[in-house]
Structure 1
């Protein structure tokens, strides 16, 4: 019996369920030399065009009797294997139905703080960029630059363990907490790493993140990393869990200290300086302006958010649990993206900061996430948490997806889309409050699960009634206010935004 074809909804569920193995047995076992693991990875990271081009015109999956990929899938050890042949056929059908031709690729080169970058994607200052071998491997795979893990004059004593996550349904994690401090290598070791990286990768961009304990240290560290040959210096004013007083986010919340330490850093270098901002504050514009007035070239935003991940109700401990205790730490991952975008929007909307170069970070996982940061005015992007989850290989779909999107939209460069969304974000009192956009229901696509009905009944305006015969909801327009909660909760996208009506 022929397997049921996958639609967009089921294909997403299948790709989301893939374990994204390091050495994928589905690929190594394929008798036709295809790379289903890469196809699924591209689907997972929303690079549908890249997935389509990998599948190409091949029809071998449809006629393959061996199904070696499915038999080799290690997810079968958990529940059932991923429906790999069906996923491959789904991708091919997308290509055929849409009549897609090979997408024009747009060069991703862009200047940031006057420094040419081959693409906007950098590793952010963290464990993912903490020694020579790691950064060198990332450069070889296509990352344009890296902000090396923060360097100080001291080596901190770290704890074990130091990470915790928050999960939702089938997702391994959507939020991530760390209580890790700055580099655990000595200053001289780190300077050696930086120098070697610039010698061996002269066309890659190296940012040295530094953290001093007083003015003299900020000047000293700036001078030493400049001598090592880096391209940009980033001042870490924002680590949320440093153990010393007056370090990290304690600085970023104090505009006077930001001004003082930015000025001290400027005394030690001629290079561009980024001030890395803390989100643990109401108005980021205030310390950002203090940095810019005292020698900074640009802003990096955002660092992690102060957080407590959870409480275990059996013993009332929290994670990460260090010998039974925990502490406030830094929260990152996909779920902080809306917060990061808000802060970047605020910076770019401020008249004194609108032309300031911004390196954006916070929840970038796919090329779409990255594009959103660009449309709010960023000209550089930094990534950590998704690399920790998926590895440096993420760069393939970040670059390919963004490049394809630019080509499809008719852009000739990344720079053309920078800031494109800012005019559409306005103060709340300027929104249209004299019309309603009613939801539009696709009856054939509706499964009859009743999620929209429940949400409207208990969290909306009781504007849906259930057609008991059909088992599907019907809109009561006289009660509907157009909030579109129903559209938000629909699991299969059967509800869309309808025509706007004046009221």
Structure 2
């Protein structure tokens, strides 16, 4: 009973413990041929229907005496193996979903794309072999690592990660610069990839230091066969002046360089925006007025992280020193979505195509960007953690979602969330939505009580006998902090009551 009562909580914890091995030994060990690694990965990446539908009608795990998947699990070398049979038993209690035919194709800046999912301009798309592998796995396009007329000298190491409790990768910092290949090598990559993958979309990210360089780069990537040009106005840590985010913070430079690029190409041009600014609409509008066909947002956020307790140096450490770098990963998604919403809500930018990025790990993250108006999605940090294979669950998860909601095309969800975010002074303020407590699921841990007393409105107490929460409606303001901290998902939104009806008023 408890397994089913807490199955979602248990499954999240168990899937989160999987090492997500390459060439997973658990799958090789399964005598029944189950795709154990893929099933766990599906659930981990929010593709629950994909996980459930990969289980056979008659689950063989409990009758499998030796359970070789457990002895093969590499996590067992650390502490305990992932409880694969128990996980699959819980998953088998879900109803299998039907996946109808849905269309993931979408036009972006007039260019037809087989799906909305692209690699973003970074190390994950920086040579022929890498991009070819990604295309073979299902990615529709790539924004190739930024091309310049110079080759930068890189530092080592150049990556670091932000951790929280048991989470090893909340955010990510890099001090990587533009492509470390020569211009000639990069142009050859474009030609070869377009020759071998003519239906895939190649976005050439470029960065110049003068108007002449921007025009020249636009010309040569156009001649090489690029489909779209992305102007990198936003790298947060380029070493020379007049590059990266220094450009993106200056609407006059954005305008001048956009015009310079348009001189050198007939292709659609994207202006990639920096988040290191208060109002992204200002440089975005300058780019569009100068001829940009679309916007790419957001690039990484200027950051410092992980100051060492002994050396007082933050990461990544380069011979005892570091520098400000670019912050990315899941933690930046809310910031990216805020900027996307601001641009899509601007009357002069509402119709401008946006390629969205910033913290996209799963199809659900991608959905949020598309619901706020993006027609195209770019991904980097998730690939750096998990590999190109995340595209499988992005595609399948989106297909299951669209099918389950009666949509026929991914185009139908673009912008559907925009009307639901309104100015704060227009929000309903005459009522309170009280939390609802599931007494069966509550384990009496007191987390809700602690948070409410120490960080809320002292509206909860713990019952002496059961230790379960007792709410004082006169003190509760309906903030729902209790629901957010509950570790077993036993608190949800309950009844909404008009304030003038509370306490006999």
Shift of 1:282: 0.2
- 2:185 is matched with 189
SS across alignment from 2:19: coil
Distance 2:100 2:70 in 1: 33
SS across alignment from 1:159: coil
Cα deviation digits, residues 244-301 of structure 1 (max 9, x gap): 0010000000000000000000000000000000000000000000000111000000
> Paired residue for 2:239, among 226, 239, 243?
243
Q: Does 1:476 find its partner at 2:499?
A: no
- 2:503 is matched with none
Q: Structure 1-normalised TM-score?
A: 0.98
User: Mean Cα displacement is larger for which, 343-352 or 101-110?
Assistant: 101-110
- 1:45 is matched with 45
Distance 1:450 1:106 in 2: 45
Shift of 1:4: 5.9
Alignment of structure 1 residues 480-491 onto 2, 5 Å: 480-491=476-487
Shift of 1:56: 3.2
Cα deviation digits, residues 133-159 of structure 1 (max 9, x gap): 000000000000000000000000000
Structure 2 runs not aligned, ≥5 long = 500-505
| Contact persistence 2:127–2:189 (CA under 8 A) | yes
User: Mean Cα displacement is larger for which, 166-175 or 101-110?
Assistant: 101-110
> 1:101 and 1:329, CA in 2 relative to 1: closer, same or farther beyond 3 A?
closer
- 1:9 is matched with 9
- 1:57 is matched with 57
Distance 1:133 1:484 in 2: 49
Cα deviation digits, residues 65-93 of structure 1 (max 9, x gap): 12010110010111100000111112111
RMSD (CA atoms)? 1.1
| Contact persistence 2:49–2:97 (CA under 8 A) | no
Distance 2:2 2:425 in 1: 53
> Paired residue for 1:140, among 132, 136, 140?
136
Shift of 1:102: 2.5
- 1:168 is matched with 164
Equivalences, count: 498
| Contact persistence 2:116–2:376 (CA under 8 A) | yes
Cα deviation digits, residues 380-409 of structure 1 (max 9, x gap): 000000000000000000000001100111
Distance 1:22 1:292 in 2: 43
Structure 1 runs not aligned, ≥5 long = none
- 1:216 is matched with 212
Distance 1:66 1:311 in 2: 47
- 1:433 is matched with 429
Distance 1:403 1:280 in 2: 35
- 2:330 is matched with 334
Alignment of structure 1 residues 407-426 onto 2, 5 Å: 407-426=403-422
Distance 1:3 1:34 in 2: 26
Distance 2:113 2:295 in 1: 17
Distance 2:189 2:54 in 1: 37
- 1:32 is matched with 32
| Contact persistence 1:17–1:170 (CA under 8 A) | no
Shift of 1:23: 1.2
Shift of 1:202: 0.3
Distance 1:465 1:427 in 2: 35
Alignment of structure 1 residues 11-160 onto 2, 5 Å: 11-95=11-95, 100-160=96-156
Shift of 1:167: 0.8
Q: Does 1:272 find its partner at 2:257?
A: no
Cα deviation digits, residues 21-47 of structure 1 (max 9, x gap): 001010011111111000000000010
Distance 1:315 1:51 in 2: 45
Distance 1:90 1:169 in 2: 26
Shift of 1:101: 4.1
Distance 1:356 1:342 in 2: 16
SS across alignment from 2:62: helix
Q: Structure 2-normalised TM-score?
A: 0.97
Structure 1 ranges of 4+ moved more than 3 A: 2-6
Alignment of structure 1 residues 341-360 onto 2, 5 Å: 341-360=337-356
Alignment of structure 1 residues 200-349 onto 2, 5 Å: 200-349=196-345
Distance 2:365 2:2 in 1: 34
Cα deviation digits, residues 141-200 of structure 1 (max 9, x gap): 000000000000000000000000001122221100000000000000000001100000
| Contact persistence 1:42–1:51 (CA under 8 A) | yes
Distance 1:80 1:190 in 2: 46
Shift of 1:11: 1.2
